[in-house]
Amino acid sequence: MGKKSIVENSINGLIHYFHKRNINYAILNNYKILPYIKNDLDILTLENHETIIKILKKIKKDFKWDKVTYCRNLETPDFTEQSVETFNLYKKKNFYSLNIDFVRGVIISNGVILKKTLDLLNKKKIYKKRYFHLREEDENIIKILSLSQNIKSNKFQLKKYKYLLEILKKTNKKSFKVFLIKNNLELLNKPLSELRKKNYRNFYFGIENFRKKIFLKTLYKRPLLTIINIFFRLKIRVLNRLVIFLNKSKIININILKDSDEQKVKKILNNLYKIKLFRNIEYLKSKIILNQREVSSLNSGGVLVKFGSNLENAININNLDTEFIIKKKIFNYVIKMNTIVS
């Protein structure tokens, strides 16, 4: 291996501080390739906000990041058991960024989590004697739910879906089938059978039936918490629907002089998306009502881009701007979209 990048060194530094402080955590997804990720890391933990801030400040100082930012868009009170705290580290030179989500509760449906976070953490595993992660069976459930939504968004077409081959292989193991029985999750057997037959539509509706049954069961056992959680999930979605009116920090305003500049900037934005500066990106079609793709982008932590000629608080692009200058303007704008951690 060659010299590690600032992202890779920061991941190892983060894990070092976690272990030093005996923080209870588990990596969600991609733990086998750590620290060689592009720039996106999801961590399940119950650690408090103040401790996380202190550690990220140390990472910023140790590895010479320029800024640490914090996004509250998916944050809910700790008692809801399903909050997401999103942090980003930025290095202006070479346009490096590192996105870290600290997750409290893996959501299976509105108001319902897969299991209590502490239960998941108590059954975590360790990889290469260094990286704690969810056990394979719990991670499989998360990937099954993610695949279902992905298939729906692609209108049930036959294609090479993320996680598909991995799910087909791992869920066919005897150990996983025993896990489903022990955890009262046998309802997943039928949709998984449909998935193996490439009946994607039946797979999706089978998963939705599973979500519904789990939701009703949880509503019966924990009615107050479930209703409160539904309120907070709806609040997040409503705020995303009203993002244009509330002038939220999820819209990148760009002033251009002529229409041809729009395509030039879109190409640069797509390149920045490929290096994971954005989780998702959609271009605003309307000044009033968001379409479903735009809402989905916001719900998944993405951004919207709005082009104009006289927008306030905007990036101003002129004919003399080179690709590097435009990229720099966008990168600096993105840093300021969220709360700067002092």
pLDDT in tens, 286-327: 666 777 788 777 777 788 999 988 888 899 998 889 999 999
pLDDT of residue 342: 67
pLDDT in tens, 240-293: 777 665 555 688 999 998 888 899 999 999 999 888 888 888 898 766 677 778
pLDDT of residue 287: 64
pLDDT in tens, 159-200: 888 889 999 999 999 999 999 999 999 999 999 999 999 999
pLDDT at 104 over 80: yes
Q: 90 to each of 10, 87, 94, 100, 233, how far by Cα in Å?
A: 12, 10, 10, 12, 29
pLDDT of residue 246: 52
What the chain holds in terms of domains, given with CATH numbers, is: 6-133 (3.30.460), 136-239 (no CATH), 246-340 (no CATH)
Pick the more confident residue, 243 or 30: 30
pLDDT in tens, 107-158: 887 778 888 899 999 999 999 999 999 999 999 999 999 899 889 888 888 7
pLDDT of residue 2: 55
Maximal C-alpha separation, the chain: 65
pLDDT of residue 192: 96
pLDDT in tens, 67-97: 999 987 778 888 888 888 999 999 999 899 9
Roughly how many angstroms between the first and final C-alpha of the chain, as a whole number? 35
Burial of 86 (0-12, 13-18, 19+ CB in 10 A): buried
Strand pairing report for 339-340 and 303-308? unpaired
Query: Which DSSP symbol is given to 341?
Result: P
DSSP state letters, 166-215: HHHHHTTSHHHHHHHHHTT-GGGHHHHHHHHTT-HHHHHHHHHHHHHHHH
Long-range contacts of the stretch 113-117 (C-beta < 8 A, 24+): 113/81, 113/82, 114/138, 114/141, 114/142, 116/81, 117/44, 117/45, 117/46, 117/81
